[in-house]
Amino acid sequence: MAEDDSTTESPEKQNLDDHAFAALGLSHKVVRAVAKSGYENPTNIQSQAIPVVLEGRDVIGSSQTGTGKTAAFALPVISNLKAHGKLRCLVLEPTRELADQVTNAFRTYSKFTNLKTALIQGGVGYGRQIEMLNKGVDVVVATPGRLLDLHKQKNISFKDIEVVVLDEVDRMLDMGFLPDVKRIVKLTPRKRQTLFFSATIPSEIEYLAQWSLTNPFTVDVGQRRSAAETVNHCLYPVAREQKMELLLRLLNDMDYQSVLIFTERKLDAEVVARKLELNNHEAVTLHSDRSQRERKKALDGFKNGDFEILIATDVAGRGLDISGISHVVNYDVPRNAENYVHRIGRTGRANTEGDAITLFAADEMDQVKGIEGYIEQEIERVTIENFEYAFTTLLQKQEIARPVRRGRNRGYVPANTMPFNMKGRRR
């Protein structure tokens, strides 16, 4: 139930008028929800985008998740929609997990209004989704395939759409969704507001942006490579056959609360999970071979602390909004340099420091070079003490004795140092 929001003289109202989000022009009900969420100050993308979205302008933003992007579009959209009516806002997301998270964000930020948000995603039955649509909703957050199915079956109409949000467009491109996205946008009224977000803007996306946006305001908060700058991240050279052993040792040395481990392949995610379980670690996996129910159970279990370790592949792990991840471990070096930045960006969210570790075998040298080129930074190599390293060319003297530049600090540290103190932080 929405609470009564009408008392203008209450101390709470007074405080909300002074709230940093009120100054951006958001409605009182939205500011109240923001305050309730515990946000004190807008993030960079929020202070840039919110006033422009409130004005009704199109926006193109090159900011990735973890920067407060969802609130940057959801808060002004909710503020403009005001009260329950027709379906007026469509948000497209590349994955079910992201659609779920963004739906929750819309529901949280609109809790003091009577606006309704429906989640439309594949992998689950049609019944409840059709029921919700029939009851009437203001916002639909959807993955493209299921949304088109429902439209074909005439269960949803886009004729009153006023705002279209295309979120994580580069991910939609990776997943082959761009034709569906274009089809959906074509079905919405020409006169609409379009908000377009993509961590990177390759040429295919630039084309879609030009086609779908009108005189957009560009929000570029320079976050594309930010995780590489804000997160403590380092490489652990090791012989391939010792990766598991080193992982177990690192987990023992760390004082971790929640660890997100990435593997390139689904099968490896399962193998690593089984081995961790055999060594008394609570681990769950998240990848596309698992059913929607299993994925939700894994994610919820990880979020509420039932499992300390979540092992995910890139598709499943991208954009997950899980606060408090203390460490990210790349069991494999990602083949795609951009994925490296996305993976390590899962920690160090909301300006907290995070540690990201990459286990690195000799046959992954090309990937490492690719990543270092992409982030324009040499990543520190770290070995640990009292570990019986098997021979690998990576650990030959000239490799590890080479002084390396540490992030932005420009300090030179020998590679052969203990990476963690008892609190799990690098020294």
Give me the residues that bind ligand AMP (CB under 6 A), please.
39, 42-43, 46, 65-71, 321, 323, 349-350
Q: How far is the CB of 108 from ligand AMP (least distance, A)?
A: 8
Q: Write down how long the chain is.
A: 427
Q: How far is the CB of 34 from ligand AMP (least distance, A)?
A: 7
| DSSP, res 329 | E
Q: How far is the CB of 217 from ligand AMP (least distance, A)?
A: 19
Nearer to ligand AMP, 352 or 421 (CB): 352
Alpha carbons 378 and 388: distance in angstroms, whole number? 26
Nearer to ligand AMP, 148 or 322 (CB): 322
What string of DSSP letters covers 381-410? E---TT--PPP-GGGSHHHHSS-EEETTTT
Nearer to ligand AMP, 299 or 333 (CB): 299
Q: How far is the CB of 324 from ligand AMP (least distance, A)?
A: 10
- Phi, psi angles (nearest 5°) of residue 141: -110, 125
Alpha carbons 200 and 222: distance in angstroms, whole number? 11
Distances from the Cα of 218 to the Cα of 21, 49, 94, 322, angstroms: 21, 9, 22, 27
Contact 142, 92 (CB under 8 A): yes
Contacts within 8 Å (CB) and 24+ apart, 269-272: 269/311, 269/312, 269/313, 272/244, 272/247, 272/311, 272/331
Q: How far is the CB of 322 from ligand AMP (least distance, A)?
A: 8
Q: Give the ranges where 136-202 is alpha helix by DSSP (H).
A: 144-152, 169-174, 178-187
Nearer to ligand AMP, 264 or 321 (CB): 321
Q: How far is the CB of 70 from ligand AMP (least distance, A)?
A: 3
DSSP reduced 3-state for 413: strand
Q: How far is the CB of 105 from ligand AMP (least distance, A)?
A: 7
Nearer to ligand AMP, 131 or 300 (CB): 300
Nearer to ligand AMP, 137 or 221 (CB): 221
405 burial level (CB within 10 Å; 0-12, 13-18, 19+): middle
Nearer to ligand AMP, 89 or 150 (CB): 89
336 burial level (CB within 10 Å; 0-12, 13-18, 19+): middle
Nearer to ligand AMP, 49 or 382 (CB): 49
Q: How far is the CB of 321 from ligand AMP (least distance, A)?
A: 5
